[in-house]
């Protein structure tokens, strides 16, 4: 893995984090070369974002992030207004956690699988404090309220 030896301001803290991360690769009894692949280094992971920033610019990235935040906030409003849905926590950036009132843990996975199979959306169940809930992670800046409403309607 790439490791810089220069100790600039804050690098001591970064090294502590790196050492904690690297510790998961120790004492497992066998060495796995995929844990050390070149695409996992900081330089390689950063290439895609730097290239994209150079091509599209920071204004485009700002617009995409703002669009994700806006649709997450609107989805939160739609969920709050629904009688059969409830917010788990307020939207954070482009992430929305919500539950279908009355559903058991076992009902979320088939619902998610059906949405994906029908090409309606890719909305996955997740765990929050031991409870299975649904998760919106808005990444595409052209996600519309109508798309969100269509997904939420499938939970009715």
Task: For residues 61 and 58, give the distance between their C-alpha atoms in angstroms, rounded to a whole number.
Answer: 5
Same domain, 40 and 84: no
Q: Give yes or no: residues 116 and 69 share one domain.
A: yes
**Structure tokens belonging to residue 67:** 């669009």
- pLDDT more than 90, % of the chain: 61
Same domain, 148 and 93: yes
Residues 96 and 19 in one domain: no
Interatomic CA distance for residues 112 and 130, integer angstroms:
19
pTM (two decimals):
0.68
pLDDT tens digits, one per residue of 76-101: 999 999 999 999 999 999 999 999 99
Residue in 115, 110, 118, 121 with CA at minimum distance from that of residue 146: 121
The total number of structural domains in the chain stands at: 2
pLDDT tens digit string along 32-58? Answer: 666 666 666 666 667 788 888 899 999
CB 75 within 8 A of CB 146: no
Residue 5 in domain: no
What is the span of the domain harbouring residue 39? Answer: 11-57
Q: Residue 6: inside a domain, yes or no?
A: no
Do 92 and 130 have their domain in common?
yes
Report DSSP state, residue 23: G
Examine the domain organization and report whether 42 and 25 are in the same domain.
Answer: yes
Mean pLDDT of 91-116: 93
């Amino acid at each position: 893995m790439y490791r810089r030896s220069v100790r600039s301001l804050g690098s001591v803290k970064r090294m502590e984090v790196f050492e904690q991360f690297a510790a998961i690769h120790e004492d497992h009894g066998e060495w796995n070369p995929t844990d050390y692949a070149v695409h996992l280094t900081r330089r390689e992971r950063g290439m895609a974002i730097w290239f994209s920033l150079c091509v599209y610019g920071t204004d485009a990235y700002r617009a995409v992030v703002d669009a994700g935040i806006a649709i997450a906030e609107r989805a939160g409003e739609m969920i709050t207004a629904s009688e059969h849905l409830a917010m788990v926590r307020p939207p954070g950036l482009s992430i929305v956690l919500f539950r279908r009132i009355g559903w058991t843990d076992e009902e979320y996975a088939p619902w998610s699988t059906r949405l994906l199979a029908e090409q309606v959306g890719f909305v996955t169940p997740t765990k929050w404090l031991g409870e299975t809930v649904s998760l919106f992670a808005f990444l595409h800046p052209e996600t519309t309220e109508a798309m969100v409403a269509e997904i939420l309607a499938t939970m009715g």
